[in-house]
Structure 1
Amino acid sequence: MTLYEMLLYFFIYGILGWCTEVAFAAAKERRFVNRGFLNGPICPIYGVGVVTVTAFLDPLRDQWVLLYLASTILVTLIEGLTGFVLDRLFHHKWWDYTGMPFNIGGYVCLVFSLVWGVACVTIVKVVHPVVRDLCLLLPHVLGILILTGCVCAMAADLLVTVNSILKWNRQLDALDKVAADLRELSGRMGENIYENVMDGIEIHEKLDAAREERKEERKEQLTELRLQAEELRGRYRELAERSIRDGRRIVRAFPTMQSRRHKELLERIRARVHEGK
């Protein structure tokens, strides 16, 4: 298989995979959802998976059992490695099979691996021969032009997508930082109020000047803390709205996505996104 053929098949099956994911999501949610990692209409993992299977397992196309077993193992490795790498790069598990039986780290599971095996056998035996014959009808020069446009478009899309995810991660980090600052302020305000209350319930006929001065200082401190807390709450609301807006497509595209650093925060964002359907 030449590089030209590999790229051609990669984009064809990546687009077909995206169409399959979108159709499945539309049937389930009754609306359009872009289920790809990228913004464009392509799921690269499908392209990589099918190209790998067709390139390496074509000699087994007449041996159904071996083809099925090899396809299942190969696609499982690709899915698991892709999920692991994306998790380590972006600190999110983009799909999670943790609730499924016989899963490995939530990246792969037996049920879906068996389904992928059936899909690969179908592609190798039925779909790919048709796709290959159709590609042979495409003039080589036109194919080169189409591939050049597709590669440039996907490279630009990848750059934008990665930048958007990194930006979203920074927003989540900032949200957690503001939430931590608010908790710290709340604790300091509680201590200030407690000290004022304890001063107030001490049994003395007359408060001395020093105690009065301390009370005034605490009042000023409490007022300042309240102002800081209000400013932080406003900052938190602003960041929350931006993170929901920027993360809406990602959350919808990967409904089982889990975050290693912001698990609870991601669940709140997911709930808000679903409320605003």
Structure 2
Amino acid sequence: MYLLNQKLLGCSVGHKGREVVDMNKYIIAFFLFSFLGWVWESIYCTIRDHKWANRGFLYGPICPIYGFGSILGFFIYDLVKTGHLPSIKWWMIFILGFIISMVLEYPTSWALEKLFNARWWDYSDVPLNINGRTSVPTSIAFGFASILVMRVLIPFSDRGLSYLSDTLSNILALILVSIISIDATLTISALTDFQKRVASIDEGFQNHMADIVNRVYGNQNSYYHKVIQRIAVFKLPERKKRIAKQLRQKQFMELIKDFYKSDVVKQMDEYIQHGTTTTLEHCENVAWISYLINEKLHLNADEKELIEAAMLHDLYLYDWHVPDPSRKLHGFTHPDIACENAVKYFDISDKEQEAIRSHMWPLTITKIPKSKEAMIICFADKYCALIEAIRLNKRFGLRH
């Protein structure tokens, strides 16, 4: 799933003078600086407005725009440290910070407004602003802040992160990505009224069933009335719960059985995905958890499209653990590769293609899940990856 052990610059590990730049560091740094940005903005706006101001776009205490800026800063810092770039003077850092703040703020503000009809910042009252989305004075401030970040905070963070073991770094990165995925899914669901639509569907179903029961009560004599009352409060005993679980699993197996007849799908069983779980097993786990989420929460996603997209979401057919210069950005590129293979070997719908391409969101920041099926798979993928990485599959409801 993630490029947690891939070397972004093809460098070897290093306490012996050679340095590693791996995706784990960038993921952890993203969260660290997103949190620091949230702290700074919340304190500043609280003091300015004399009331508490939560400056995060998400529910959690993070401002992602600071995280993306820090990733770019870390990348430049690593290039300088490894000799790929010459040393950068303070005034060059200032200019870069000034430009990057404008480049990040304007399109981010525009995209958020187009998607959610809201603005998270507005510089309309600030001199030399551009449509209120960015301004020269604020970008100057970010330029000076960039000097502090590049000269102090990033080197300090880099030294601290170098002490983390590979195992701890892997687990921490997975947990952080899972957290922001859940947070972002809940935030976007709330902003787009997705939860209201789901609640409306469920309420309509419950009202319909209540009408049926009321009609039955009205048409039956007292004997039948008592029978129906017993049925209404009836709770399945453990044996019947087991039967229900077996029926659920049988129905799921009917949905995925044809995939195991495909030679190209079988190839996924040749590669390890997380821990000891193969890519094929991981896809089945994601399909199973997606199936349960859809059923338990009554989301009414298209079951066939949901399971097909889940079973094919990692159909990239190579071992991402093996160092290969052409796969340095596996975490970002493999959804497109898997989708291309799925289209090539299977007749999948546009909605399924979108679900496969967006399953790594928010790592692939521009590919936001746009359907119930895509959102379910995105969450299930993060959940399964985390449980598989810590090798507690059976304890947490996975199949392998």
Give the TM bin, normalised by the shorter chain: 0.5 to 0.7
Kindly provide the CA deviation profile for residues 80-136 of structure 1, in whole angstroms up to 9, marking residues without a partner as x.
Answer: 111111111112222111121111111100010000011111100111111110111
Alignment: residue pair count: 170
Partner of 1:6: 26
Percent identity (aligned): 26
TM-score, normalised relative to structure 2:
0.40
Note if contact 1:53-1:71 (Cα within 8 Å) is conserved in structure 2.
no
Partner of 1:47: 67
1:91 counterpart letter in structure 2: N
The counterpart of 2:189, out of the listed 163, 173, 188, is 163
Partner of 1:138: 164
The counterpart of 1:112, out of the listed 132, 138, 142, is 138
Structure 1 residue 61: deviation in Å?
Answer: 5.1
Note if contact 2:28-2:176 (Cα within 8 Å) is conserved in structure 1.
no
Partner of 2:47: 27
1:66 counterpart letter in structure 2: M
Q: Distance in 1 between matches of 2:37 and 2:70?
A: 10
Note if contact 2:26-2:74 (Cα within 8 Å) is conserved in structure 1.
no
Alignment of 1:201-212 (within 5 A): none
- Greater RCO, 1 or 2 (C-alpha within 8 Å, sep 6+): 1
Alignment of 1:90-129 (within 5 A): 90-129=116-155
TM-score, normalised relative to structure 1:
0.57
Q: Distance in 2 between matches of 1:66 and 1:145?
A: 36
2:148 counterpart letter in structure 1: T
1:152 counterpart letter in structure 2: S
The answer as to 2:102 corresponding to 1:76 is yes
**Unaligned residue ranges in structure 1 (runs of 5+):** 172-277
Partner of 1:15: 35
Would you tell me which structure has more helix in proportion to its own residues? 1
The answer as to 2:151 corresponding to 1:151 is no
Q: Distance in 2 between matches of 1:75 and 1:30?
A: 26
1:104 counterpart letter in structure 2: I
Across the aligned residues of Structure 1 and Structure 2, the Cα RMSD in angstroms comes to 2.2
Q: Which is greater in Rg?
A: 1
**Unaligned residue ranges in structure 2 (runs of 5+):** 1-20, 198-400
Kindly provide the CA deviation profile for residues 16-61 of structure 1, in whole angstroms up to 9, marking residues without a partner as x.
Answer: 1111122223333455432100001111111001111331365465
Pair 1:37–1:61, CA change in 2 (3 A): farther
Q: Distance in 2 between matches of 1:79 and 1:117?
A: 13
Partner of 1:239: none
Kindly provide the CA deviation profile for residues 152-186 of structure 1, in whole angstroms up to 9, marking residues without a partner as x.
Answer: 11111101111111229x99xxxxxxxxxxxxxxx
Note if contact 1:71-1:117 (Cα within 8 Å) is conserved in structure 2.
yes
Note if contact 1:11-1:42 (Cα within 8 Å) is conserved in structure 2.
yes
